[in-house]
Structures are given as C-alpha cells and as structure tokens.
Structure 1
C-alpha cells in the first residue's frame, strides 16, 4: 500500500485560525491520510498483538470553540472506542509527529497496568530506545526524554498511574516536522512499523 507521509501543508493546518476553518482543513488534508494509516496498521497490529485491532480517527466532535491543536488515529481492540483501554496512536502537532503506546485516564484497569509496568521496569529501561520519550498528559505536547530517566523515575510514573485518578502514561517516538517532511514514503512507513515493534512489549503487559 502506497501511503503518503505527512507534509508541511499538513503540519501547517494547526496554524489556521478558527474552529470551522481548521476542521475543514483537517478533514480535507489530514484525515484521509490518518484513515489510510489506520487501515494499514490495524492489520499489522492485529497480527503483532494477536487481537483484532480497529482504527479510530479523531473526529474532535465535542469542540465548539477552540480548534484542535493536534490530531491522530488510535488503534485498539474495540470497534466502539479506544480511550478505555491500552492503545496505540499515530498523530500530529504543528511541531512534530508522534507514535505512542498510551494508557489515558479513562482506562479502568490503570492500576493493574501500573503494577505490571513496575514489575517490568528494569527490562523496560534497558529495552526502550534512548531516543524515545514519555508523556503523562496526552493533551500537552511536552515530553520527558527516556535517556534522562533512572529506574526511580520510571517507577514514580508507574506508581502515579496506579494511585492518581487522572494519571496517564504514554511512551513512544516524537519526530520533528522537518524530519518527517524529509522522509520518503518508505522511510515514513518503516519508522512507524519499527516504533510499534518496540512498543509491543507494553501492550503485552495488559
């Protein structure tokens, strides 16, 4: 499948003022690419995880005033939604593309996942690539570099996931817009596939 990478025009959608105008551009420029990525990688992830994975392109349907600052396609083993379970994401902010494994605050089994992450912390700190990043809030672009973390830092994040109602945890890749724009289509697809292979052990903990 020939899927086009994201371009400067796609990233620049997030500079468009106004909810309606930005949503129109998202629907025209970015959502078709997210849909194509969803169709392709839902098949790949179904094979990798052993679960049937469904793509969910963000619709931003609840927004009435503020235009979205990011957008994504999520992959989960549920055809109705993804927020309540561990999932994968591919998406964009104006400044970068992200590829995540995510457990966000709606997930009811966060405590169990946090315990399993703590148990595997020594393996995770060694096996996660140094250029990967962490986030504790999917609504913000700020991230924490993996190569700057020690085992105590990881366990603090994993413990927070178990004890704080609104806690979240995401791990994956953040790729600058310039690096994405410079990729060819094959490099783009291979980068995403490689990220999912590195993030698969998280999903296996569920």
Structure 2
C-alpha cells in the first residue's frame, strides 16, 4: 500500500488519555505510516548520502507512565540504532509534522560535530532556506525559523553543542497539522525528500 499522507486522526492520537490507550492508538493509526515512510526513504537516503541508511520506528518501549507526546521514524547508517549518530527524522507532534536533520544529546561526537558546524557557519547560514527551523531540544515542539535568526544566534547554537551535555541541534521543516492534512501522499513525500536534500550538507559536515 502506498503512503496516503497524514490525516486528522493521526494528530488526534495525542489527545487520548492514558499510556496504554494512546500507545494502542499510536500503533494502529500512526506506526503503519511511519513504516511506509521508512521503507520509502531508506533507499532514497542511502542513494543521496552515499552509504546504506536504515530506518528505526520509535517504539517508546521505556515508557511506564507518561504517554508519548510525539512519535517518529529515524534514519541512520547503523542498523542497530540512530541516537548516537547524526540522523534524519520524520514525525508528528499534535500540532505539526516535523522533518529533521538531527544530532541529539546521546551522540558521543557532539563536540567535534559542533566545531565542524561552527567552521562552516557562514555557508550554512547562507544556504539554509528561510522557512526552515532550528531547534536545540528534540523533546520540545518549539523551534525557531531560520529567517528570524542572526549569524550570531546560529553560532551560539553550534557552540552550545560543543559545551553543554544536553545540547542538541536539529534543522528542517515543520508543517502545521492544518497544512499537513491537506497534502496528498505524493505531495508530502515530495516535501520530505526536498528537506532531506536541503539538509544533506549538514549530514555530510557532521
């Protein structure tokens, strides 16, 4: 079955109370779509990145109390995991779809990656689309649009990645739920592929 896009019911999952109840809805409603996106984009990313990329659908297995507020599929070069590596993500909060290049706090090479990003600061600032977003915390839905950042703001994010243990860096596109549910499956796939290609230079730097 081909990817049909996201619908209102996908976002409504995050309004369900209770861990078991929300997890059950997440597994039946959203996870099959994340699997489809994983199967679709792993070969695409392998091709453009020049190395085999594997997809990992979030299982939320460690949760015992609080229901997940977001969910995702991640892509990385390691078949066993992604959190320790620079990677790509597609996922949902209740409010929007996110498409990220990401380096999160578990990555042991964070300091070195931050230095590489800082070294290439001016070209990164110049080539990032103004409607893309930057975030320093994948656990929060808030992010800042590139067009609202200065060179110095971005430099501070790259330097924070080098010095703060919990610091992260994410760059990509957020699509509000109202816009996302209007996009066909093919339109959504096209947007995701565009974001991956635009953020590929960040992946190569990292």
- The alignment's TM-score, normalised by the length of structure 1, stands at 0.98
Structure 1 residue 2, shift from structure 2 partner: 2.3
1:48-76 Cα distance to aligned partner (Å, 9 max, x none): 10111000000000001110000000000
What is the alpha-carbon distance in structure 1 between the residues aligned to residue 173 and residue 64 of structure 2? Answer: 30
**Unmatched segments (≥5 aa) in structure 2:** none
Match of 1:182, SS state, is coil
What is the alpha-carbon distance in structure 2 between the residues aligned to residue 4 and residue 29 of structure 1? Answer: 12
Aligned partner of 1:159 in structure 2 is 159
Structure 1 residue 81 corresponds to structure 2 residue 81 = yes
What is the alpha-carbon distance in structure 2 between the residues aligned to residue 95 and residue 146 of structure 1? Answer: 19
**Unmatched segments (≥5 aa) in structure 1:** none
What is the alpha-carbon distance in structure 2 between the residues aligned to residue 166 and residue 93 of structure 1? Answer: 21
Cα RMSD after superposing both structures: 0.8
Aligned partner of 2:129 in structure 1 is 129
Counting matched residue pairs gives: 206
- The alignment's TM-score, normalised by the length of structure 2, stands at 0.98
Aligned partner of 2:35 in structure 1 is 35
Contact 2:54–2:75 (Cα < 8 Å) also in 1:
yes
Structure 1 residue 184, shift from structure 2 partner: 1.4
Runs ≥4 residues deviating over 6 A: none
Structure 1 residue 5 corresponds to structure 2 residue 5 = yes
What is the alpha-carbon distance in structure 2 between the residues aligned to residue 132 and residue 9 of structure 1? Answer: 26
What is the alpha-carbon distance in structure 1 between the residues aligned to residue 123 and residue 2 of structure 2? Answer: 36
Alignment of 1:71-150 (within 5 A): 71-150=71-150
What is the alpha-carbon distance in structure 2 between the residues aligned to residue 111 and residue 12 of structure 1? Answer: 38
What is the alpha-carbon distance in structure 1 between the residues aligned to residue 61 and residue 194 of structure 2? Answer: 31
What is the alpha-carbon distance in structure 2 between the residues aligned to residue 185 and residue 148 of structure 1? Answer: 30
Aligned partner of 2:182 in structure 1 is 182
Match of 1:9, SS state, is helix
Aligned partner of 2:19 in structure 1 is 19
Structure 1 residue 150, shift from structure 2 partner: 1.1
What is the alpha-carbon distance in structure 2 between the residues aligned to residue 183 and residue 103 of structure 1? Answer: 28
Aligned partner of 1:51 in structure 2 is 51
